[in-house]
Amino acid sequence: MLSRDVPDSPLRFGALWGLWAFHTVSTEHQTARQFAEECVALGQRVGDAGLLVEGYCILGASLFGLGHLAAARLQLEASIATYDPEKHRSHALVYGQDPKVLALTYLVKTVCPLGYPDLGLSRSQEMLSLARSLAHPFSLTFALYGSSMVRVWRQEWRAAQAFAEEFIALCAEQGLSHQESQARCLLARVLVQQGAGATGAGMLRRSLAELKAMGPGNMYLLWLPWSAEAFGRMGQAEEGLSELGDAFRLLGRSDQRYAESELYWIKGTLLEQLASPDADEAEASYLKAIEVARHQQTKLLELRAATSLCRIWQRQGKRAEARELLAPIYLWFTEGFDTPDLKDAKALLDALA
């Protein structure tokens, strides 16, 4: 491989970074991770902070894709801590986006599911402020996407919609069709959550078709469960489960794991929405969602799945078992108590007391 024939230098780093980008776009995150690790090692060998800013960032992005969110957080925070605004703002012209904005975008998508929605909000504000100051539209698209995603995690739908609409407008202005399709998926999910099920579902299906036509490297696996969820919101749980079947087949062929727990949680909610609800299968899906969330240390997803499961147990009269499962998860949290997820869990715990 050409990159291995080039001695340690910014030129070799650029070759490795390009290989990382190629495999990331192809959603081959394990291979991308290997090139990212080489980038970090090269930066450490030559003692170049500029290379390390990029290396830590892309390694964090690959770990995020693989579902190793706690490890991703460490790398992303290292990139942010190494960033020098005087020395590294020019990276946006070399690599296509500002590394701190990119690292913050992944960081806010990481800390929210890890159980820190307030931290996600504060870092998203820092991210957006930096991106707006750079006059670099492509970096701003990342910041708007991350800002909307934080509000999605916090279920602050109107704020999420405002950022998604600005994201779409910027993509249209700059001719970024790939990013615009993703932005419309994001807006569609927000519209569904606000009650515009038919409008949101139609927009999702059109945008998903566009993304699918562009090839595998488009986070298709992230958006597909949202389409399934939209069917559930419209009272079409069977169609939603069919859509999820496609998502699980993609998951089986991919090392992209950051949405895995959410897939099982959505499956459980759809099974409960069937004309003849399947409580046993829903329980199994929630248990799997909890298992995956524990493995990935995503406490917010663990809380969501546990809350859904404990509602089934409450109806079955298993109040003690429900409280025994849910209470320790809820008590782990140190922030985010004003978010719907924690409010719902607390209300259920009070009912179970």
Q: What is each CA distance from 285 to 98, 115, 229, 266, 272, in whole angstroms? A: 39, 21, 15, 9, 11
Q: Judge contact between 323 and 353, C-beta under 8 A.
A: yes
Greater model confidence, 40 or 251: 40
- Do residues 273 and 238 touch, judged by C-beta distance below 8 A? no
Write the single-letter amino acid at 307. Answer: T
Please give the average per-residue pLDDT across 13-36, as a whole number.
93
Rounded Cα distance between 140 and 131, Å, is 5
- Over range 339-353, report the average pLDDT: 97
CA-nearest of 196, 183, 164 to 222 is 183
pLDDT of residue 205: 85
Residue 213 scores a pLDDT above 90: no
**Residue whose C-alpha is closest to residue 184's, from 161, 150, 155:** 161
Q: Is residue 216 over pLDDT 80?
A: no
Distance CA 79, CA 91 (A): 13
> CA end-to-end span of the chain, whole Å?
63
For residue range 268-295, list pLDDT tens digits in order: 999 999 999 999 999 999 999 999 999 9
| Chain center to CA of 322 | 28
32 neighbors 20 (Cβ within 8 angstroms): yes
Q: If you average pLDDT over residues 151-170, what whole number do you get?
A: 96
Closest CA to 266 of 237, 296, 246: 237
Contact 73, 109 (CB under 8 A): no
With 70 as the cut, is the pLDDT of residue 8 above it? no
> What CATH number has the domain spanning 234-353?
1.25.40.10
| pLDDT given for residue 214 in this prediction | 73
- Domain ranges in the chain are 1-110, 234-353
Domains 1-110 and 234-353 share a fold: yes
In terms of C-beta density within 10 A (0-12 exposed, 13-18 middle, 19 or more buried), how is residue 16 classed? buried
Higher pLDDT, 218 or 184: 184
Q: Which residue has the higher pLDDT, 18 or 91?
A: 18
**Is residue 3 scored above 50 in pLDDT?**
no
Token reading at 130: 């930096």
For 1-110, give the CATH class. Answer: mainly alpha
Give the residue with greater pLDDT, 7 vs 87.
Answer: 87
Mean pLDDT of the chain: 92
Flag whether pLDDT at 48 surpasses 60.
yes
**Residues 149, 161: Cα–Cα separation, whole Å:** 10
Query: Does the reported pTM lie above 0.75?
Result: yes
152 has a pLDDT exceeding 90: yes
pLDDT one-digit tens code per residue, 303-337: 999 999 999 999 999 999 999 999 999 999 999 99
Q: Which two tokens stand for residue 190?
A: 């927000």
